[in-house]
Structure 1
Amino acid sequence: MKIQTKYHGEIELNEKDIWHFEKGIPGFEDEKQFTVLSFEDNDIFFVLQSVNNFSLGFIISNPFSFFKEYEIKLDDAVTYALELEKPEDSMVYVILTVKDPFSESTANLQAPLVFNLINNKAKQIILNDYSRKQPVSAAAVKE
């Protein structure tokens, strides 16, 4: 299928590349299907693009690229909802608030996105131990 995107224009998308958020993302509960798109020559930042709303695209990144001590523990309700059997079957991203200059950008460590690589289910979870606005300025961006 073809979809319009916020940052990549029109793209061809396969069903296997669609992530299903059963309850949407907080604040965007009606948006249940997303895809993860990469930027050319960049393996740190990605776009979580809504399949149905071309103007909805979040900049995301692997939090462990920036925050080596970051740790999440998934409770039983999350692992059940995602049908997640093993931690290695998952990947985690966080949504960034990108600012100009980039050094003022922040990562939402309080609400990571957890993806089940086996069944394409995904969910944003809430962690009470972290900040919604953690600066990413200490991160080294690969060129």
Structure 2
Amino acid sequence: MKYNTRLGEIEINENEIITFEKGIPGFEHLRKFSVISLKDTLPILWLVSLEDENVSLPIIDPWIVDKNYEIEISNEDIKELEIEDKEKVAVWAILTIPSGHPEETTVNLRAPIVINMEKGKGKQIILDTEKYKIKHKLSEFSFQE
């Protein structure tokens, strides 16, 4: 099916739709998203809303940012996301890219997006640790592509 997004019109297959049952903080009213890869923005991908064409969130693999990144998913979140196989789970960190000032980009390592790719279920979880912040300056890290 074709969807209009901030990134243009994109063909999305049913198995590429990720449902966030409670939405994403700040976008609680939106439930259907998809992860889009554009070669011009790699390693940044895009979590695009399929319900509001104006919503697309830049995301990045947190292990590219911090090779020692650690995440512990609670039993409650494992159950909610119906995770049976950890190999089929994707974890993304949301970026904030200030308009006109990409050098001030921050990455949220404290509240990653966790997606059960097998079931098409996603959730933004808040890690129970002080190790990570909601706004780490991306410039503080050396990329580990």
Question: Number of aligned pairs?
Answer: 141
- SS of the aligned residue for 1:88 comes to helix
Taking the TM superposition and a 5 Å limit, the aligned residue runs for 1:75-90 are 75-90=74-89
Q: Which residue of 1 aligns with 2:60?
A: 61
Is residue 22 of structure 1 aligned with residue 14 of structure 2?
no
**Cα RMSD over matched residues?**
1.6
Looking at structure 1, the residues matched to 105 and 62 of structure 2 have their Cα atoms a distance apart, in angstroms, of 13
TM-score using structure 1 length: 0.91
> Is this contact kept in 2: 1:44–1:141, CA < 8 A?
no
Looking at structure 2, the residues matched to 35 and 12 of structure 1 have their Cα atoms a distance apart, in angstroms, of 10
1:95 partner letter: I
Q: Which residue of 2 aligns with 1:34?
A: 33
TM-score using structure 2 length: 0.90
Q: Which residue of 1 aligns with 2:133?
A: 131
Taking the TM superposition and a 5 Å limit, the aligned residue runs for 1:42-121 are 42-99=41-98, 100-121=100-121
- SS of the aligned residue for 1:114 comes to strand
Looking at structure 1, the residues matched to 25 and 48 of structure 2 have their Cα atoms a distance apart, in angstroms, of 15
Q: 4+ residue runs of structure 1 moved beyond 3 angstroms?
A: 139-142
2:46 partner letter: V
How much has 1:128 moved relative to structure 2? 3.5
Which structure 2 segments of 5+ residues have no match?
none
Which structure 1 segments of 5+ residues have no match?
none
